[in-house]
Amino acid sequence: MSGANQQQIEHWNGPGGASWRRHQERLDDMFAAFSEAALRAAAVRPGERVLDVGCGAGATTLALAGMVGPGGAVVGVDVSAPLLGRARERADAAGLAVELRLADAADAPLGGPYDLLFSRFGVMFFADPVAAFTHLRAAAKPDGRLAFMCWRAAADNDWGALPHRALRDLLPPLPPTDPSAPGPFAFADRGRVLAILEAAGFRDVALAPFDAPLRFGRGDSREAALDDALAQAAEVGPLTRLLAGHDDDLRRRALAAVRAAFAERAGPDGVFLRAAAWIVTARA
Ligand SMILES: C[S@@+](CC[C@H](N)C(=O)[O-])C[C@H]1O[C@@H](n2cnc3c(N)ncnc32)[C@H](O)[C@@H]1O
């Protein structure tokens, strides 16, 4: 795999893939309500053929396989070898016959044709989203469906914005970023998503907001939950990128600032951060 998505391919085979793999159970637990809502919107039926785009460690791939049953088929495609490896282990352990392809969903052969193109947070990383979605649509049946979940704006997602706010006075100012650059918030703008999907040939595009708190950290006490939340945030997610390359002293001060911000959201058994997504549906 190489080409326009090379930077993302390196990230998801490097630090991004390693930390998502290490925290797979925790992340799946955190995203459970989001999975459920996206799968409900996908209206999966027994016997269908489904492509799970950017399937990662396979949580939704396995759920989809259970929903389509033995008469259907599910293919997961992802660029990340470590995450697909985890998906393979889980599928084997569950005795589920899913196909897992290590490939760039933007331009690799995808098999099909599929009744449903599905994704949980796996489609915001394409360098050329119109080309990628045009390619994906070609793998769908003429009356096939698209259903995916993506994040709304960082400002509506405390898990994304809070570390930035907490570190504002500690870190040198970050260079301005292009809000449409590949990354978790690339599909935050409703108009942009509509334009991309319509340019790729999808019809009846609809975006519905979905909000639920994300639980960071667990513990028997508020302090233990806070420690756990901080340990998680330091290993996976936006804080890791903010702290990359900084010395130990700054890291210590930064983590203290994030802990103080988390403390405002801590309950007796966890830290709960606001999260806001779109559920996007369309016809191929
Ligand atoms: C935020 S993770 C979500 C993973 C999984 N869907 C989940 O919800 O746990 C994004 C996933 O998209 C994958 N990805 C990024 N760019 C991709 C591409 N061009 N083709 C296929 N997968 C891609 C990454 O490797 C990663 O597994």
Taking phi first (over 0 means left), then psi (-120 to 50 degrees means alpha), and beta for anything else, what does residue 173 get? beta
The CATH superfamily of 6-153+178-213+274-283 is Vaccinia Virus protein VP39 (3.40.50.150)
Both tokens of 12, joined, read 């998801």
Q: Is the distance from CB of 212 to CB of 34 less than 8 angstroms?
A: yes
pLDDT, position 2: 66
Burial of 70 (0-12, 13-18, 19+ CB in 10 A): exposed
What Å distances lie between residue 239 and 23, 234, 249, 251, 258, CA to CA?
A: 15, 6, 16, 10, 9
| pLDDT over 90 (residue 152) | yes
Task: Report the run of H or E that residue 104 belongs to, with start and end.
Answer: none
Residue type, 14: G
| pLDDT over 90 (residue 79) | yes
pLDDT digits (tens, 9 = 90+) for 80-99: 999 999 999 999 999 999 99
pLDDT, position 243: 83
Q: Which residues line ligand 1 (CB under 6 A)?
A: 5, 8, 12, 54-57, 59, 77-80, 83, 104-106, 120-122, 125-126
User: If you take atom 1 of ligand 1, which residue's CA is the nearest one?
Assistant: 121
Cis ω on the peptide bond leading into residue 113 (within 30° of 0)? yes
Burial of 83 (0-12, 13-18, 19+ CB in 10 A): buried
Residue 57 CA, closest ligand 1 atom number = 9
Residue 219 to residue 160: CA distance in whole angstroms: 22
Q: 28, 36, 75, 83: which to mutate for ligand 1, most atoms within 8 A of CB? A: 83
**What mean pLDDT, rounded, does the chain reach?**
93
Residue 28 CA, closest ligand 1 atom number = 9
The set of residues, in sequence order, having a beta carbon less than 8 Å from that of 226 and lying 6+ positions away, is 217, 219, 259, 262, 263, 266, 271
pLDDT, position 153: 94
DSSP assigned state of 60: H
Domain definitions of the chain by residue range: 6-153+178-213+274-283
pLDDT digits (tens, 9 = 90+) for 189-217: 999 999 999 999 999 999 999 999 999 88
